[in-house]
Structure 1
Amino acid sequence: MLDTYRHKVVLIGDGAVGSSFAFSLLQSTNEVDELVLVDRTRSKAVGDAADLADITPLTNPVKIYAGTYEDAADADVVVITAGIPRKPGETRLDLVNKNTTILKSIIEPIVKSGFTGVFVISSNPVDILTTIAQRISGFPKERVIGTGTSLDSMRLRVLLSKKLHLSVNVIDALMLGEHGDTSFAAFNEITIGGKALNTITALSNTDKSEIEKAVHEAGSQIIANKGATFYGIAKCLSYITRAIIENRSLVLPISAPLDGQYGIKGLYLGTPAIINSQGIGQVVEYPLTSDEVKKMQQSAEAMHQVLAKIEI
């Protein structure tokens, strides 16, 4: 029997991403004692809850069960992975209208339940849907988070490790902007073992373009080979959720609400932010070059054009 209450997490969408997130979360923290799985196919959630319960003797005692939106009433975090997945040849922006409708059908009853915690969104297009989720919920902006460029940044680190023949663990590098084709690498801020990349090696403009292109194409290549991407984003989700429930104050690249940073307002977009128990503790404005600021603003403009066409 647990002596003290720790944290309750509700997962909405128990597909490949959702179930991988749940598995990762249970393995990475002992601060969760209740995990609720909600899916339109209830039998899937029931089966996954039983399957996940089998690992708890080797991890931590957690109550895991299939539930409903009403279970979010006393939750600390609601993680939303539900949505129509991207098909081969389809962009994340192609999904916006379909997934906006789905998102609205989820957010409204959760808010009605009395939920006062933090929303974490990974459904695509994540920057737009996170912006929409905040508008629908009416929540303070710091209590709505999107996964943003967290996965893009991990892919950048992997590509740099291969290019430079170094461990990914010594590389600190971020992709910023849209989680999609307008994202870009902040090359001037990349460090290797704490030292600036440009003091260790010189990447040509061609190298940089090829690396960014590879990041943009990484998801499509995985989808072409196995039909979906889920391990990477699931790990990013569990890392963000852990930062919230453990009040870790980590700086992570997420979909964060911009209010003047980079000259952008009224939109969630990929940038570093401090993540703690309140959700977003602070948005960190990265020191970008003038060209990078232009790329950030171009990314924002692409998002604003889509948002302008959506009726909430």
Structure 2
Amino acid sequence: MAPPPSAPAHLKSIKIAIIGAGSVGTTTAYALLLSGLASDIVLIDIDKRRAEGEAMDMSHAAHFAQAKVRAGETYADCAGAAAVIITAGVNQKPGQTRMDLVKTNYALFRDVVPQVAAAAPDTILIVATNPVDVLTHAAHKFSGFPVERVIGSGTAMDTTRFRHELGRHYGVNPRNVHAAIIGEHGDSQLPVWSLATIAGMRLRDYCAQGGIEYDEAAMDACARRTRQAAYEIIQRKGKTNYGVASVLVSILEPIITNGDALVTVSRVGTFAGVEDVALSMPCKLNREGAHQLKVPLLLSKEEEEGLRKSALSIKEVIESV
């Protein structure tokens, strides 16, 4: 395999730190290594020997990439990072909901986030640990960063899964399906049916134009499989890692390249009348972080009510910790 072309000049000094050398953290580091988006990837874990071993292993793939992978000694090694990705925490087990993890991982964030913020006061925090919405709110609180610089991976993964399900149903590439999951990265997530399109046409119109029956039950099944995907994967292999790692790199890309991409990520704000809560809506991502759209998402009345219910369910957990 020939090595890829040299990274563009503006990427040659990009440093990314990843907290947590578990399956998500290491898969993210590997995906980032091969992406060419960063020149310096630092993997930090409480188990330093594991982080060292993972970095050593990945360094043997660096021949095919333009980056250096190394293990950090302490959180001080986050200094100068354009972004710090937090994947550390207790993993979801079969039968658990993401919300079941909240107390243990909240305590971890209370310890870790202030140290990261002190070492890298200008970085952008990207949270992948579950329950991601509650912990995005915690990271904002414990870091003192502006809301746009604390981003949860949120429903970016769910949106990808949703487009996959719709693409498979309609027989088109998921890249040509424009549809979003908003709200909680969890059981109260909300598919935005009113704005879902293929070839610029809303789904009912697409079906009518093509002489295809619009199957409400099939659409509900697509949404259900999207919502239950992580549970199904965890039951079979005990974890999820490849999909979320790819999504984390896709979140990083417009931040590093100042791309102004629209991505459904979690951040703190007011949603459907619920204040000071973190959940996912389409945001514009660039080197300054995640920005709420100036044009509000045009939701149906039922979707607005669903979003409020999702926000309230997250808010209840935030207030309980």
- 1:19 is the counterpart of 2:30: no
SS state at 1:273 partner: strand
Tell me the alpha carbon deviations over residues 102-143 of structure 1, each in whole angstroms, 9 at most, x when there is no partner.
111110211222432100001000001001110111110000
After superposition, residues 112-131 of structure 1 pair within 5 angstroms as 112-131=118-137
Tell me what 2:204 maps to.
Answer: 198
Counterparts of 1:119 and 1:61, CA distance in 2: 21
- Picking from 43, 48, 70, the partner of 1:37 is 43
Q: How many residues align?
A: 308
Is the 1:73–1:116 contact (alpha carbons within 8 Å) kept by the matching residues of 2? Answer: no
- 1:147 is the counterpart of 2:153: yes
Counterparts of 1:61 and 1:289, CA distance in 2: 46
SS state at 1:268 partner: strand
Letter in 1 for 2:31: S
Q: How much identity, in percent, do the aligned residues show?
A: 31
Tell me what 2:17 maps to.
Answer: 10
| Residue ranges of structure 1 left out of the alignment (5+ in a row) | none
Is the 2:33–2:67 contact (alpha carbons within 8 Å) kept by the matching residues of 1? Answer: no
Tell me what 2:253 maps to.
Answer: 242
Task: Give me the CA root mean square deviation.
Answer: 1.8
Is the 2:86–2:129 contact (alpha carbons within 8 Å) kept by the matching residues of 1? Answer: yes
Counterparts of 1:242 and 1:179, CA distance in 2: 21
1:63 CA drift (Å): 4.9
SS state at 2:272 partner: helix
Letter in 2 for 1:96: V
Counterparts of 2:280 and 2:214, CA distance in 1: 24
- Picking from 272, 282, 285, the partner of 1:275 is 285
SS state at 1:32 partner: coil
Tell me what 1:64 maps to.
Answer: 70
Counterparts of 1:203 and 1:295, CA distance in 2: 22
SS state at 1:74 partner: coil
Tell me what 1:258 maps to.
Answer: 269
Counterparts of 2:147 and 2:279, CA distance in 1: 12
SS state at 1:308 partner: helix
- 1:287 is the counterpart of 2:293: no
Is the 2:55–2:69 contact (alpha carbons within 8 Å) kept by the matching residues of 1? Answer: no
| Residue ranges of structure 2 left out of the alignment (5+ in a row) | 1-5, 208-212
Is the 1:49–1:66 contact (alpha carbons within 8 Å) kept by the matching residues of 2? Answer: no
The 1:78–1:61 alpha-carbon spacing in structure 2 relative to 1, beyond 3 Å, is closer
Letter in 2 for 1:32: A
Tell me the alpha carbon deviations over residues 139-172 of structure 1, each in whole angstroms, 9 at most, x when there is no partner.
1000000001011111111111221122212111
TM-score, length-normalised on structure 2?
A: 0.91
Is the 1:222–1:228 contact (alpha carbons within 8 Å) kept by the matching residues of 2? Answer: yes
Counterparts of 1:208 and 1:276, CA distance in 2: 33
Is the 1:73–1:114 contact (alpha carbons within 8 Å) kept by the matching residues of 2? Answer: yes
